[in-house]
């Protein structure tokens, strides 16, 4: 009987050891794919390790179904002069795309990009900065303030129709959003977070679908139109991480990143920052990494954003986590799309 118990214990221990996740010391760089377009791609929405969508200048949309080996592409709604800086894919066939600038429009495809239908158009003063879906049906689009109030649209039917959030948060004069990566807005459940820049770099937060709002001034560099919060990502335990900086002075590493606890209402600055202005950041739960990108390179942190290390000179505009949470994708200038190499 003792021998049998010993065998069982050894078997359990061996099983636990073999099931442990081996975490690499750092990313191995980017696997950059050849795409058939030369557009600046700021809109990005990976679905799985094989399926990803992107969008950008010249009305461009892209989709791969085979992990970047081949790409479908075209022009959204025939709008070849419009920059679609935001895209959200629900799956391989359904996606919504949002323009930055005029016309301020939201389009949807249900057939893998072969046709696009106009779902919403905003006023001439509107500039739409980004999109985030809190769940498969409910999503939000944030736009620059108009008459002292942020523009926030919402949908509860996968982008079929859009209407304004009733209680819009106030904005300081000269405060605005950035559409550099379309990730200055994130939502999860009933929570909404918006990062801003310009005269003030603030974090706006609603715990209840936009009914009530709080605001905290961030330690991110601010005071000019080129400075502020450019991207947010959720870490867990109501903690968010912010990156940004000054896109005019891209090599400046001062006050370009910070974390914030919504529960404790507490800011924490990193010990060492990303290597300059960063337009996109994402949390990678598979390895507990933060990955940040900007035009001058890519950085990562394995300790919640306290210490950052540069792992690639490749620059991108946007970085996103696939819905399946197994892969990280990035998009950038000249039609570049890439997937993070980890092994």
Every domain of the chain and the residues it spans: 58-340
pLDDT for position 343? 80
Residue 16 phi/psi, 5-degree rounding, is -65, -40
Task: State how far the Cα of 314 lies from the Cα of 296, in Å rounded to an integer.
Answer: 7
Residue 340 phi/psi, 5-degree rounding, is -65, 135
pLDDT for position 62? 98
**239-246, strands of its sheet edge to edge:** 175-176, 197-198, 224-236, 239-246, 257-261, 266-268
Residue 5 phi/psi, 5-degree rounding, is -60, -40
Kindly give the parts of the chain with pLDDT less than 50: 1-19
Q: Where are the alpha helices (DSSP H) in 88-232?
A: none
What is the dotted CATH code of the domain comprising 58-340? 2.120.10.30
pLDDT for position 7? 36
SS3 for 220-234, per residue? CCCCEEEEEEEEEEE
pLDDT for position 324? 80
pLDDT for position 23? 85
Task: State how far the Cα of 300 lies from the Cα of 308, in Å rounded to an integer.
Answer: 6
pLDDT for position 21? 64
């Amino acid at each position: 009987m003792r021998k049998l118990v010993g065998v069982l214990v050894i078997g359990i221990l061996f099983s636990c050891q073999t099931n442990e996740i081996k975490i690499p010391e750092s990313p191995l760089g980017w696997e950059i794919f050849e795409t058939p377009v030369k557009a600046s791609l700021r809109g990005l929405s990976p679905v799985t390790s094989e399926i990803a969508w992107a969008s950008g200048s010249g009305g461009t949309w892209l989709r791969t179904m085979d992990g970047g080996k081949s790409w479908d592409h075209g022009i959204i709604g025939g709008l070849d002069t419009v920059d679609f800086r935001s895209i959200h894919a629900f799956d391989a066939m359904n996606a919504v795309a949002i323009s930055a600038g005029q016309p301020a429009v939201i389009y949807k495809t249900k057939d893998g990009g072969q046709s696009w239908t106009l779902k919403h158009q905003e006023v001439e003063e509107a500039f739409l900065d980004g999109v985030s879906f809190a769940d498969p049906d409910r999503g939000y689009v944030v736009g620059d303030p108009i008459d002292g109030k942020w523009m926030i649209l919402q949908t509860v039917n996968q982008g079929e129709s859009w209407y304004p959030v009733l209680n819009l948060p106030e904005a300081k004069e000269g405060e605005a959003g950035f559409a550099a990566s379309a990730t200055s807005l994130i939502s999860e459940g009933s929570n909404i977070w918006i990062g801003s820049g310009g005269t003030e770099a603030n974090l706006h937060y609603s715990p209840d679908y936009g009914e009530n709002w709080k605001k905290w001034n961030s330690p991110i560099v601010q005071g000019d139109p080129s400075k502020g919060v450019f991207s947010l990502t959720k870490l867990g335990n109501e903690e968010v991480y912010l990156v940004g900086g000054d896109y005019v002075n891209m090599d400046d590493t001062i006050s370009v990143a910070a974390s914030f606890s919504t529960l404790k209402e507490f800011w924490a600055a990193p010990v060492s920052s990303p290597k300059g202005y960063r337009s996109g950041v994402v949390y990678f739960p598979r390895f507990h990494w933060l990955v940040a990108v900007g035009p001058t390179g890519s950085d990562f942190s394995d300790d919640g954003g306290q210490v950052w290390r540069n792992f690639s000179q490749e620059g991108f505009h946007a970085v996103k986590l696939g819905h399946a949470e197994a892969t990280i994708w990035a998009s950038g200038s000249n039609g570049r799309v890439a997937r993070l190499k980890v092994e």
